[in-house]
Amino acid sequence: MKFLRNLLASIIGTLIALGIIFMLFAVVVSAFSEVDKVSVTNNTVLEIKLDKTVKDYAPKSEDPFDEILGLNKDKIGLEAIINAIENAKTDDNIKGISIFLENVNAGIAQTQAIRNKLNEFRETGKFIFAYADSYNQKAYYLSSVADSVFINPVGAVDFKGLSSEVLFYSDFQEKTGVKMEVIRHGKYKSAVEPFLTNTMSEENRNQISSYLTSIWNEIVSDISKNRNKTPEELNNIADNLLARNSKLAIENNIVDETIYLDQYNDKLKLASGKTTDDNLNIISIDDYISTGKGRIASTAADKIAVIYAQGEIIYGKGDENFIGQELIIRSLQKVRSSRDVKAVVLRVNSPGGSALASELIWRELELTKKELPIVVSMGNVAASGGYYLSCNADRIFAEPTTITGSIGVFGTIPNISKLASNIGINAEQVSTNKGADYSIFEPMTDEFRIVTEESVEEVYTTFLERVSLGRNMDIQKVDSVAQGRVWSGVEALNVGLVDELGNLEDAVSYAADLAEVTNYKVRNYPSYKVDLDEKFSNLPFVKSKEKILIEELGEENYKIYQSIKRISTIKGIQARLPYIIEIN
C-alpha cells in the first residue's frame, strides 16, 4: 500500500508541476506578445538588412512558443521581402528605404529580384539610400539601386567580377586508397570530374566561363543603369580594382560620398521630413513584415497555389530545406481537391538530387496538369533534378541569373579496396547467386559496372524523354543542349529550355491569365510541421549539431564539411548539379 501511495503522490506531483510549467509558459507568451507588438509611425524609414538567410519560402509559425524558442529568427522569406517593399510603396508612413548591409545572405537570383522590386519603389518618388562600412560584391550590387550610395571614409568596395574554383581529388584518392567509383552520362556532368582527374576538362571550363559571363553581364547591366556608367567603364573598374578604397570608389562614381554612420543617420532624418535633432524613426524589414506587411491583402475567393520546391531532392518526406516527394505530392493532391485553386505555380530552387524522387514528383505534376494550369518559376538554381521537376510545365519562367539545365545523371560509389589492402584487410564474400554484387572492400567488377551503367543510361534516356515531351522538342535537340551542361537563365532562354525571363510575380500573373481569373490571392504550400523534439533542439542548452559545428569550424569550414558529408550520403542514381555554386 505504501508503494501505491508513493506512486500516486508522484503522479499527482508530476501533473501539478506540468500544470505550473504550462501556466508559466502561458504568462511568458502573453508578455512576449505584448512587448513584441510593432507599429509604424509617421516619417518612418524602412531598413533593409539581409543578415538572415533569405529563403524562397520561410513560413513563420503562428505558435508563440516558436518565437520564444527562436525557431523563426534565422530566416526570412523572399516573398515576404518583396511584398513588404510593395506595400511600402503606398504606405504613407514609410518615407523611404535605407539599405544597410555589408553582406547579402541570398542567392544572386533572389538578390536580383529584391533589387528589381526596389527599382519599382524608386518610381514612387520615395528615396532609397544605402550605407556600409565596406561592400562586398553582392552587397554593392543590391545597394547600387539606391539614389545615393554612401560608404565609411576608410571603407572599400569589392568589385572584381565573378570567379569559380573547383577542387580535384584524383591524387588524394591515389595516396589514401579511398576513391569514388563513377558512372555518368553527359560530357558536362562535372559533378564527378574531381574524382576522375586532377585538371578541369575543356568542356567544364567552357560551361563555367559561359554562365559566369552571362550572370556577370546581368549584374553589370543592372548597375550600369543605376550608376549612369557604361558596361565598359564598369568592367575596367573591375579589371583594375578601381573601387578598392573609398577614394577610388568616389573617383569612379561607384559610391557618392564618404561619411560616418552618424552623418548617414542625419541624412535619413532630413530625407524623411525630420530635423537632425529629432529621433530617427526606423523600422527593420523583419518588424515591418511582422505588422502584416509581408502579405498582399486580398478578399478574393479564387486562389493561385504556389508550391515551393526548395533544396536538394531526396527520397522521402522532405522538409523546409529538402525536397521530398511525399510533401510535394501531398501538396499537389490538396490543390487538385480544392475548388478555389485555379492554377499552380511551382517555385523551384534546387540543384537536383534523387532521380527516383524527381520522377515521382514529375508524375504527380503530370496528373495535376490535366486538371490545372502549371507554371514554373525558377529561383537561384533549377538544375538537373530541379529541371526534371520543371520541364513539363505549361510555361517556364527563369530569372536572368538563374542556374539551370544540367540535364544529365551520374552514380558514385565509394571504394576502399586499395586502402584495405594497404592496411592488411581482406574481405571474403559468400553469395547464393551469381548476380552482380558490390563490396567497397573489393575492386568494382566489370559485371557490376555494366549493370550500373545500364541504370544510368536508362535514367538519362527517361530524363530526355521527359524534357522532350514537356518542351515539345525532339530527343536529338534535347540531347544537344543536355549532356549535363549548365546554363544561365538568359542562355537557357536562347536554347529553348525556358520560355520567358521573369520573377515569381510574373509567373503567378501568367498562371492567373491561363486560368482566366483576374481577382485572386496566393496560397503557399507545403505546410511544414515541427515536432516537439525539433523545437527543443533549438534551446541554448540543447544546441543542434549544426550550430555546434558552425561555432567550432566557422561558417566557411562548415560549408566544406557539408560538401564532404553531402557526397558521402549520395545514394542511387543522381540527377544533380555538377557542384555547389556560390556567387558573391
With helix as H, strand as E and coil as C, how does 362-416 read? HHHHHHHHCCCCEEEEEEEEEECHHHHHHCCCCEEEECCCCEEECCCEEEEEEEC
Beta pairing class for 303-310 and 521-525: parallel
Task: Say how far apart CA 177 and CA 200 lie, in whole Å.
Answer: 22
Look at residue 541 in the predicted model and tell me its pLDDT: 44
Task: Say how far apart CA 224 and CA 222 lie, in whole Å.
Answer: 5
What type of residue sits at position 261? L
What is the CB-side half-sphere exposure of residue 533 using CA atoms within 13 A? 0
Residue with cell 519603389: 121
Look at residue 561 in the predicted model and tell me its pLDDT: 57
SS3 194: helix
CA 395 to chain centre: 21
DSSP-assigned states of every residue in 101-150: -S---S-HHHHHHHHHHHHHHHTTT-EEEEEESSB-HHHHHHHTTSSEEE
Q: Where in the chain is the domain with CATH 3.90.226.10?
A: 44-160+241-293, 303-531+572-576
568 is catalytic: no
- Give phi and psi for 23, each to the nearest 5: -65, -40
Are 485 and 207 contacting, i.e. CB atoms less than 8 angstroms apart?
yes
CA-wise closest residue to 161 among 104, 239, 232, 85: 239
Task: Say how far apart CA 251 and CA 157 lie, in whole Å.
Answer: 13
Q: Which residue among the candidates 179, 189, 274, 303 is catalytic per the annotation?
A: 189
DSSP-assigned states of every residue in 456-519: HHHHHHHHHHHHHHHHT--HHHHHHH-TT-EEEHHHHHHHTS-SEE--HHHHHHHHHHHHT-SS
CA-wise closest residue to 227 among 147, 120, 109: 147
Are 406 and 384 contacting, i.e. CB atoms less than 8 angstroms apart?
yes
From residue 104, alpha-carbon distances to 223, 257, 504 in Å are 16, 22, 20
Look at residue 451 in the predicted model and tell me its pLDDT: 87
Instruction: Judge: domain 44-160+241-293, CATH 3.40.640.10.
Output: no
SS3 311: coil
CA-wise closest residue to 134 among 114, 110, 159, 113: 159
User: Which residues of the chain carry a pLDDT beneath 70?
Assistant: 1-11, 13-15, 17-37, 60-73, 186-191, 436, 529-584
- Give phi and psi for 76, each to the nearest 5: -150, 140
189 is catalytic: yes
Q: Which residue among the candidates 384, 390, 417, 488 is catalytic per the annotation?
A: 384
Q: What is the pTM assigned to this prediction?
A: 0.84
Residue with cell 503562428: 62
Look at residue 250 in the predicted model and tell me its pLDDT: 97
Backbone torsion region of residue 393, taken as left when φ is above 0, otherwise alpha when ψ lies between -120 and 50, otherwise beta: beta
Supply the angle between the helices 446-471 and 355-369 in degrees, to the nearest 10. Answer: 20
Q: Which residues of 76-87 are buried (b: 16+ CB within 10 A; e: fewer)?
A: bbbbbbbbbbbb
Are 372 and 342 contacting, i.e. CB atoms less than 8 angstroms apart?
yes
Grid cell digits, residue 549: 559545428
Task: Say how far apart CA 439 and CA 426 lie, in whole Å.
Answer: 11
CA 109 to chain centre: 9
- How does pLDDT run across 62-74, given as a tens digit for each residue? 555 555 555 556 8
Grid cell digits, residue 378: 525558377
What type of residue sits at position 344? V
Instruction: Judge: domain 303-531+572-576, CATH 3.40.50.2300.
Output: no
